[in-house]
Amino acid sequence: MCMMGNSLSKQYTSSNEKRSSLSSEQSTMFDEKKASAYNLKADNLSTELRGLKLDQKDGEFNSITIDKLQSWEKEIYEDSKNRLAQNVLSKNAPDVAFRESSYATGLKNRFFFNTEVAVIGSPEFKNNQKSSGRCWIFATCNVLRSKVIKTYNLPQDKFQLSQTYLFFYDKLEKANFFLENILDASDEPLDSRLISFLTSNPVNDGGQWDMIVNVLTKYGAVPNEVFPDNEQAMRTSKLNYFLTEKLREYALILRKLKNDNYSAEEINKVKAAQMKEVYKIISLSLGSPPKPDETFSWEFKNKDGKYFHFETTPKEFYEKHINFDTTTNFSLINDPRNPYDSLYTVERLNNVHGGRPISYVNTDMDAMKAVAIRMLKDNEPVFFGSDVGKFSDRSTGVLDTNAFDYELGYGTCLNLSKSERLQLGSSSMTHAMVITGVHIDPKTNAPVRWKIENSWGDAVGQKGYFLMTDDWFSEYVYQIVTSKKYSDKKHYDIWKSGKYNVLPYYDPMGALA
């Protein structure tokens, strides 16, 4: 089977500084600048071509001819396996036709874990993001609700936080952040890459860890029953379309006012009126949530039937009843393109104007996995970001780089390394979930597979739980969130230093899960 290869912008790390700390993976990458120097006699050609077979009968190739097509077709049909593959693919998708089904794979990917968190909350209860991009909010709520369930001895299938409450205020803040960016970049041409980027998706459903910290810190949180999902929260495309078009309209107004030298006071009055309309659009769509200081009643019975009643506010509920200290929690990432043991942020990436910056401490994969294991052994679920669409089987819930034997079917396989996938835009953080367990090999003490709580409801995977192999973790996990308690001291110190290397706004590390 084929295996895959393993405004602060002035502070951006130079290319020379990056090259000095390149990983071993990067040092063997194909150098396209040297490609012209290669010839058929080069000793390293087969390595550079990554297994591509050359036909020594072929000379210079400039265009596709009928003779060439006939030759290619003849070669395909000389191997009867290709005829079989063609027949199978005519009626089945590749991920069905080439699904690995060996006994060894089945044993490796069974849902059995010798280390699991004791309390997490049920995937069956209010844990389906439906047709929305709110996975990062659901993942956060799944981490935070475990604290509440543990504190008050609640049934795991009876409590969840309101994802829509956090979603409402994130949408509102993103709209404001977008308009501030538009004003800041008003001297850019309307067709510039930056303006195109800003206006492409200003109120994206997705987000990052520090964004949810910004919302929690400013607005608090509430139980699900206080502000539950509605139709627009579960299917966000129409709201996003209307709101995006309105914000583009407002962007043109603000740009003209700024470039026509209207005063800051006049511009701010216009922006305030725009934000009032934005609030109305979101409120009519999602409903009107409690204000951060507005009192609501929270009442429940615990596992023993004991009744509790609290009069509280969203801010107080977050600070007192969830009691999760975000000030010591930060993101570790694995980005082999860039030097490890360094702090990164992404230009113009945030949701709250003036909020906590998006912060990533880059580290090697072994260090990241060690932190995750320490957390799980201490009953702490792990928020993480990954590229869930790669080598994944939604029906079984298995994420495995060997899930599909493409070499068996196509006679060739995928050879891009993790850093190359990032460089070419073929992979990024697309989905946030929660790690709730790991199976550690008792002989080698190495992780074999990881248990995941997803946010796609209980009709997929194993009643809402997924499994990722350790190889898949290495290739497609980019981020975990940890704290001072579990991280290496050097990584915590790097995070606290605030000495950012700023990635450009279009960098894949700016992707929103």
Check: CB of residue 472 under 8 Å from CB of residue 298. Answer: no
| 150 phi and psi angles, rounded to 5 deg | -70, -45
Query: For this structure, is 128 an active site residue?
Result: no
Query: For this structure, is 454 an active site residue?
Result: yes
Q: Catalytic residue among 321, 431, 439, 491, which?
A: 431
Query: For this structure, is 181 an active site residue?
Result: no
Q: Catalytic residue among 135, 214, 240, 338, which?
A: 135
479, amino acid identity: Q
Please give the distance of CA 40 from its chain centroid, rounded to a whole number.
Answer: 42
Structure-token pair, residue 98: 């080439």
Q: Catalytic residue among 181, 214, 334, 454, which?
A: 454
Separation of alpha carbons 505 and 177, rounded Å: 14
- Which residues touch 389 (CB under 8 Å, ≥6 apart)? 430, 431
Instruction: Give the residue among 135, 248, 145 at the shortest CA–CA distance from 201.
Output: 248
- Which residues touch 179 (CB under 8 Å, ≥6 apart)? 247, 250, 251, 254, 271, 274, 275
468, amino acid identity: M
Check: CB of residue 441 under 8 Å from CB of residue 108. Answer: no
Instruction: Give the residue among 86, 137, 129, 362 at the shortest CA–CA distance from 235.
Output: 129
Strand duo 382-386 + 477-483: pairing:
antiparallel
Separation of alpha carbons 151 and 201, rounded Å: 39
Separation of alpha carbons 470 and 439, rounded Å: 9
- Which residues touch 486 (CB under 8 Å, ≥6 apart)? 371, 374, 375, 378, 380
- Which residues touch 428 (CB under 8 Å, ≥6 apart)? 387, 422, 478, 508, 509, 511
- Which residues touch 54 (CB under 8 Å, ≥6 apart)? 40
3-state helix, strand, coil in the chain (%, to 5): 45, 15, 40
Strand duo 447-453 + 500-503: pairing:
unpaired
The DSSP call for residue 205 is: S
| 235 phi and psi angles, rounded to 5 deg | -135, 95
Q: How many CB atoms lie within 10 A of CB 252?
A: 12
Separation of alpha carbons 426 and 295, rounded Å: 47
- Catalytically active residues, by annotation: 135, 431, 454
